[in-house]
């Protein structure tokens, strides 16, 4: 399989496929501007390292790399529902797109020197058991001075679809005490821990479990890290919701694929489609949303 991927989609010196952890195929990209790794399991970006920098993304040392299991870190694609299934608690958290193996449909070295790869996932008997719609999902990953991930959903069914989704980005940080999150001030949010609604008055401080859904938000989010001396900018298009999540101490201990102390080195700032931002997709049509991540 790896030989075939390299024959069909490899690009000399910039894109090669290899087996990653758990013998899962992954795309390894090296451009003038950055290196990146994207797993075919979930079309999940696992690493994005701009030249001369440390990795912007975070992956747990305790992550599983197995069939039917989500990889803990990078940018999982949560689809076609976000968090628990609305009516059936037995269905997988955050949907099934992150649990499945995607295929590669194209790769390109652009005139600007970026690498762009398109991954696809199509409905199957397995997906129909979990969610009774025919679909095609495509995920475009573009690696250069910025990392751009765009998810496109095509409705191939005869019924309309209601989809919540996320590009659930895990960022590497030095220490929550040294990080400030800007760009969320004056934004209404639902606190998932109390299910109450508030308006953010100041940049949120990460000093306890945080799980918030910011609504009607279109600005960039800035993760200013005094410890790593860098600021990550997270932009989005066709999405006006952001989830900020850090499990902190107790929840970290409850998660089997998350180290007890790892909450100190990650923060999720997720580009999301939920609540009034949910996707309603009519038969024969498609919708997309994207996130762009870069150092500023
Ligand atoms: C976040 C949710 O997006 O994902 C949290 O807001 C959830 O509530 C977290 O705990 C991780 O979810 P999972 O299914 O990957 O453990």
Q: What is the pLDDT of residues 74-105, one digit of tens each?
A: 999 999 999 999 899 999 999 999 999 999 99
Q: What is the mean pLDDT of residues 1-26?
A: 97
- Classify 114 as helix, strand or coil: coil
| Whether 246 contacts 270, CB under 8 Å | no
Residue 244 to residues 6, 60, 89, 137, 239, Cα–Cα distance (Å): 37, 17, 23, 25, 15
Residue 161, pLDDT score: 97
29 falls in which pLDDT band (50, 70, 90)? very high
User: What is the 3 CA–ligand 1 centroid distance (Å)?
Assistant: 35
Active-site residue list:
168, 270
Token pair listed for 10: 């490899």
220 falls in which pLDDT band (50, 70, 90)? very high
C-alpha–C-alpha distance, residues 16 and 26, integer Å: 8
Contacts of 185 (CB under 8 A, 6+ apart): 200, 201, 202, 203
Q: Report the chain's mean pLDDT, rounded to a whole number.
A: 97
pTM > 0.85? yes
C-alpha–C-alpha distance, residues 268 and 43, integer Å: 18
Residue 35, pLDDT score: 98
Mutate to test the pocket of ligand 1, among 44, 75, 211 (most ligand atoms within 8 A of CB): 211
Q: What is the DSSP letter of 146?
A: S
User: What is the 83 CA–ligand 1 centroid distance (Å)?
Assistant: 6
Mutate to test the pocket of ligand 1, among 93, 164, 169 (most ligand atoms within 8 A of CB): 93
**pLDDT (tens digit per residue) in 196-217:** 999 999 999 999 999 999 999 9
Residues lining ligand 1, Cβ inside 6 A: 70, 83, 93-94, 168, 192, 211, 243, 245, 270
267 falls in which pLDDT band (50, 70, 90)? very high
Q: At which residue do the structure tokens 């009607």 appear?
A: 216
| Whether 250 contacts 209, CB under 8 Å | yes
């Amino acid at each position: 399989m790896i030989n075939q991927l390299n024959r069909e989609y490899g690009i000399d010196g910039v894109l090669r496929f290899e087996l990653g952890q758990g013998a899962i195929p992954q795309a390894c990209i090296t451009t003038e501007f950055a290196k990146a790794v994207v797993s075919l399991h979930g079309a999940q970006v696992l690493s994005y390292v701009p030249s001369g920098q440390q990795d912007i993304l975070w992956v747990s040392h305790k992550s599983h790399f197995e069939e039917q299991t989500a990889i803990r870190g990078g940018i999982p694609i949560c689809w076609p529902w976000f968090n628990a299934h609305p009516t059936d608690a037995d269905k997988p958290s955050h949907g099934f797109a992150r649990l499945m193996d995607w295929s590669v449909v194209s790769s390109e070295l652009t005139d600007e020197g970026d690498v762009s790869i398109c991954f696809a996932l199509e409905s199957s008997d397995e997906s129909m058991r979990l969610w009774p719609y025919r679909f095609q999902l495509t995920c475009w990953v573009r690696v250069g001075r910025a990392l751009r991930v765009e998810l496109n959903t095509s409705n191939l069914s005869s019924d309309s679809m209601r989809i919540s989704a996320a590009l659930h980005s895990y960022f590497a940080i030095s220490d929550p005490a040294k990080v400030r999150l800007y760009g969320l001030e004056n934004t209404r949010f639902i606190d998932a821990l109390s299910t109450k609604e508030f308006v953010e008055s100041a940049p949120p401080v990460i000093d306890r479990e945080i799980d918030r859904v910011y609504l009607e938000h279109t600005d960039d989010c800035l993760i200013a890290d005094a410890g790593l001396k860098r600021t990550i900018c997270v932009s989005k298009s066709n999405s006006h919701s952001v989830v900020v999540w850090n499990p902190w101490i107790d929840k970290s201990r409850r998660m089997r694929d998350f180290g007890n102390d790892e909450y100190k080195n990650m923060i999720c700032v997720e580009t999301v489609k939920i609540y009034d931002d949910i996707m309603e997709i009519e038969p024969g049509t498609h919708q997309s949303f994207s996130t762009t991540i870069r150092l500023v």
